[in-house]
Amino acid sequence: MSEERYGEFVLVRRHGDGHVAELVLDRPKAMNAVSTEMARSIAGACAALGADSGVRAVVLTSTHERAFCVGADLKERNSFSDAELVRQRPVARGAYTGVLELPVPTIAAVHGFALGGGFELALACDVIVADRTAVVGLPEVSVGVIPGGGGTQLLPRRVGAARAAELIFTARRVEAAEARELGLVDELVEQGRAREEALALGARIAANSPVGLRAAKRALRLGQGLDLRAGLEVEDAAWRAVAFSGDRAEGVAAFNEKRKPEWPGE
């Protein structure tokens, strides 16, 4: 396993052959509250991972024992003038869009608190694995703002408009069992196992065609919200992008030869 640090608060670990990258939130003294510096580091790490053709899956984790991420750094925000808050906004958005726009499958491993921007980082991932200590929610209206990291758009896509409205308007925190029941998280595992299970899922994903994975994610994301006919056109364009690839040729050959494929990644 290799490690690379992005600033003081973000770490990237590459597991095994490097096809699974772990994006680690590492600001334990602040329960991973996202400061301006940390937001820049998340965006920088995501840009590097997105440009790396060897990465097939990304797992978002935390080093804090009791929190995935508690959201924006409100102590820092409290010191901002209005002008400083305006200047900081694109930096903050860059962290969330960095995760959201990763071209490979992404998995959040959530334990403890995932609140506000912390939950939005998880919502930006394709799959959320949580353990039984998880507490999630978007409490922004309780402090006079609204979710600003994609929450008003990503949450209704997960649970429907009415359920998302109830959760956002009440600002309530949702514990693990109910979160799984409502579809706020996808898999619920035993306490302390979220990271391990998410990395195992990442490894299963990364065993598949890198060309196929990127195309499938692109079709899934671009097709959201479209009518069926338009969505099928998005799917067809993604299919055409992979149908004549080296990965397709290798996958078919490996299947017929009853062997494990050796993906060329092109």
Question: Annotated active-site positions, please?
Answer: 72, 117, 120, 140
Positive or negative, the CA dihedral 206, 211, 216, 221 is: positive
Q: Cα separation of 57 and 77, whole Å?
A: 33
How big, in percent rounded to 5, are the helix, strand and coil portions of the chain?
50, 20, 30
Distance of CA 169 to the CA centre of its chain: 24
Burial label, 78 (beta-carbon count in 10 A; 0-12, 13-18, 19+):
exposed
- Taking a C-beta distance cutoff of 8 angstroms, is the pair 216, 247 a contact? no
Any residues with CB less than 8 A from the CB of 203 and at least 6 apart, and which?
15, 16, 20, 57
